[in-house]
Structure 1
C-alpha cells in the first residue's frame, strides 16, 4: 500500500498539471452574431474551441454525445473511441459560456470490466437518468453505439451496468444501410421511456425519413430536413413534451456544411404518418457560420442547451462547445 502512494501522488500531479494547461478558446460562430445576440432564431450564449489534450490516457477528441447532470453540476461527454469525460462549464455574470474545465475522465468498460475496443467502441449518443432528482450519486448514463448497435447503461465512472432492450428490428445489423449509420441518437422521454434514432433510414425505409423507436417497438416516422444528405445525430426530450433534434448535412469538404436544430411532438399513436417537424435554426457554412461536425446535444437549464462537434480526432477539424437558448415560442412547421 505505502509503495503505491508515491505513484498515486505522481498521477494526481500529472493530471492536475494537464488540467491547468487545458485552455479552451472563446470564439464566435458568425461575425454578425456575438455572445448574447439573437440570430437565426436562437440566442447565442458563447462558444469555445477545445484544444487537443489527454486525461487519464484518454484523448479528448471525437466527442459525439453530451448529457448534463444537474445534481452533480457536471457536463458528461463521450468520445467515438470509448472515453467518458466529466466537464465543468464556466460562465460570466450574464450566463455567457467563458470556459470549461476537465474534471476527470474514464474509459467505458465492457461486461468483464475491460475498456471497450473496436468494433465495440463507437459510442455516439448519450442520455442521462436520475440527473435532476436532487439525489446526488444515483446518476446513470445511457450510451448508444454504431458498428455494433446497442444501448448500454453506465455509471458516471464508466462501469458497465447492462444493456437496454431494443426492438428486434434494431438488433439485426442487416436492417441498416451501413453499420456506421446505426444508433446515433438516444434520449429518455418521460412518457415513452428510452427513445433511439438511426442516423440514416433503415435499409427498407424510404430515403429522407427515419424512425424514432421506443423500447417496446412503438415508432414514429420522422422526416429529415431538406438539406441534401441530412442525418439525425442527436435528440433531446423536452420538459414540455416536445423533442429537440439535431441534424447534420455534410456531403464533401468543399460543399456547405448545414447544421439544423428542429423540433417535433410525439403523439400517442406512432406509425408511418410523418411527424410535423419545425425548423428552429438552420446554420449554413456558406453563409458565414463557423461550423463543424456537431453531433452532441443536451439541455442545460430552462431553455438553454449545449451542442458539441465531433472532430473525428482529425487535425483538420475542431471540437467546438456551444451554449445557446431557444426562443419561448415554437416556429411554424416546415414539413408535413
Structure 2
C-alpha cells in the first residue's frame, strides 16, 4: 500500500517530462525581496530526435511563435512549444538538431562548445561558443548561415584566461543588437571587473560579485532595456555553489571608464539551504518574467532544473 501511495504521489508530481521541485531553503517560500518563484521543475526529457537532452547551457524564447530553444554545450539545439501564465502551462518537445557548419559538416569537437543563445524579434537564432570563440546565426536545420566578426580584443585566443572561459553569455538587444560577455574577464582586465561587448565595439563595465571566481554565465535583456545578469561561483565540492541574479543598468551608463550601476535581485547559496544546481541559462518569456535552467554536466547526480520567476518591478 505504501508503494502504491508513493507511486501515485510521484506520478502526480510528474507532468510530461517534468517533475515538481522546490529550490528555496524554506519549503513553500516563493516570495523574496527581488523576485518571486512562480514554478519550479526538474526536466526529465531523455532523447529528442535521437539527441540526448543534457548539459543545457542556455535558452531563448521566441515570443511570437511561443517556442523555447535550449542549447547544450555539445552543439545541440532543442525546440519546445512553451506557454507561460502564472505557472508553466506547456513545455512540449518539437525537435532537436546539431549545430553544424553551413556545409552541413560538423564542427570539430573543441569548436562546438555552444554556451550562449539568443533570438531576435524576427525569430532568428544566434549562438556563441567557447573553445574557438565565435558567434553565428543558425537556421532551423542547425546550419550556421552567418558568422560575425568579433571586436578585435575578442578575436585573439591569447586574450582569454583559458579556452574554456570565453564567450559564455549572449543576448539580443533591440537597440544594440547582439551583446556578449566572457565567463571571466580578459587577461588584461581586473579580475573583478566584467565587460559586456557589442559587436560594433561598444563596451559596458560592471563589478563582479565578491565570491571567489564569480563568473558571468548568462544574461537577458529586461523590459526596460537594461540587463539581467547571472553570475556563478564554484570553487570546489567543499565550498558553496553561489548563483547571483543582478540587474545591470546599461541605460544611462555613459562613463566609458566607469562601472555601470548594478542592483542585486537574488543570491542563492547552497550553504544557506538553497537546493540549486549549475544554473547557466536565462530567457525572458513575458513581462518581468523569466526562466532559468541548469547544466547537469551529463552527470547522474546532477539535475536539469527549470525555474520560472518574476522580477520585482
Normalised by the length of structure 2, the TM-score is 0.90
Report the equivalent of 1:8: none
Q: Which residue of 99, 119, 128 maps to 1:108?
A: 99
* Alignment coverage as a number of residue pairs: 299
Contact kept, 8 Å, 1:22 with 1:53, in 2: the verdict is no
Query: Which of 143-152 and 159-168 deviates more?
Result: 159-168
Determine the C-alpha separation between the residues in 2 that align with 1:97 and 1:38: 17
Asked if 1:59 corresponds to 2:43, the answer is no
Report the equivalent of 2:208: 224
Determine the C-alpha separation between the residues in 1 that align with 2:241 and 2:258: 29
Name the SS for the 1:271 alignment partner.
Answer: coil
Report the equivalent of 1:177: 161
Deviations 1:286-309 (A, max 9, x none): 111111110100100001100000
Determine the C-alpha separation between the residues in 2 that align with 1:279 and 1:207: 19
Contact kept, 8 Å, 2:80 with 2:92, in 1: the verdict is yes
Report the equivalent of 1:74: 67
1:276 to 1:107, Cα distance in 2 relative to 1, 3 A:
same
In the TM superposition, residue 74 of structure 1 has moved relative to its aligned partner by 0.9
1:207 to 1:140, Cα distance in 2 relative to 1, 3 A:
same
Report the equivalent of 1:97: 88
Q: Which residue of 259, 280, 292 maps to 2:277?
A: 292
1:246-257 matches, cutoff 5 A: 246-257=230-241
Asked if 1:282 corresponds to 2:267, the answer is yes
In the TM superposition, residue 34 of structure 1 has moved relative to its aligned partner by 3.1
Report the equivalent of 2:291: 306
Show structure 1 runs of 4+ deviating over 3 A. Answer: 267-270
Query: Which of 319-328 and 189-198 deviates more?
Result: 189-198
Report the equivalent of 2:24: 30
1:318-333 matches, cutoff 5 A: 318-328=303-313
Contact kept, 8 Å, 1:231 with 1:248, in 2: the verdict is yes
Determine the C-alpha separation between the residues in 2 that align with 1:218 and 1:249: 27
Structure 2 unaligned regions, length at least 5: 1-14
In the TM superposition, residue 237 of structure 1 has moved relative to its aligned partner by 1.5
1:239-250 matches, cutoff 5 A: 239-250=223-234
Report the equivalent of 1:121: 112
Report the equivalent of 2:248: 264
1:97 to 1:169, Cα distance in 2 relative to 1, 3 A:
same
Query: Which of 259-268 and 242-251 deviates more?
Result: 259-268
Structure 1 unaligned regions, length at least 5: 1-20, 132-138, 329-336
Determine the C-alpha separation between the residues in 2 that align with 1:151 and 1:211: 17
In the TM superposition, residue 254 of structure 1 has moved relative to its aligned partner by 2.0
Contact kept, 8 Å, 1:25 with 1:99, in 2: the verdict is no
Determine the C-alpha separation between the residues in 2 that align with 1:99 and 1:70: 14
Contact kept, 8 Å, 1:221 with 1:270, in 2: the verdict is no
